[in-house]
Amino acid sequence: MKNCRTILLILISSACIISAVDAQEQASTTDPSLESKLDQLMTSVYCHCGCVRETIKHCVCGVAQEIETDFRNRLIGGGTVEQIRIDYLARWGTQFSALMPAKGFNIVAYTMPAIIIVLIGVIVFLVLRSNRRASLATASVSTELERSASTDRHEQIEEELERYKQQR
């Protein structure tokens, strides 16, 4: 009789645990905003496990899985992405932030690609303009040469015609 009660208690507690886990899993999978928040959180911080410098989303160690579970539970509990991120970085340090803050020297890193693209555009524009001017100058010189050559040729033909007339 005592064994039956123990087995019954174990079965009931197992059923409760399984239903609680299933309910939590369904809540997390049915809420797309929770998954997007979790994804945003997991890509914004590095795993502190020490194996490879990967974001929590990409790290495959057990520590990353524990952190993901903790993040998921805190999001379900009503925590915000920013607050959870701040707490994580306060505990493990800012070196685990995967996002570069836009302050100090980091501003240079944010603006350099745009500056480089503008400089390349200006250089290409100046080279094309210089080539166009050179081709226009060459075209005008060749046109002048053709005119003078045709004028010279015309005069030469006129002279030969006059000589021919005088000989006859």
Domain ranges of the chain: 102-168
Q: Give the DSSP H/E element, type plus range, for residue 96.
A: none
CA distances from 166 to 124, 156, 157 (A): 62, 15, 14
Bridge partners (DSSP) of residue 123 are none
CA distances from 24 to 13, 27, 34, 63 (A): 16, 5, 12, 21
The SS3 assignment for 97 reads strand
Contact indicator for 110, 81 with CB cutoff of 8 Å: no
Q: What is the pLDDT along the chain (168 residues), one digit of tens a residue?
A: 566 666 656 757 665 566 555 555 555 444 678 888 898 888 888 888 877 778 888 888 888 889 899 999 999 998 898 999 999 889 888 888 888 777 778 788 788 899 999 999 999 999 998 888 877 777 666 666 677 667 777 788 888 888 888 887
For CA atoms 105, 110, 113, 114, give the dihedral sign.
Answer: negative
Amino acid occupying residue 134: A
The SS3 assignment for 45 reads strand
pTM above 0.85, yes or no: no
Bridge partners (DSSP) of residue 45 are 97
d(CA 39, CA 81): 10
d(CA 67, CA 52): 15
d(CA 40, CA 56): 10
Show the tokens assigned to 115: 């500056």
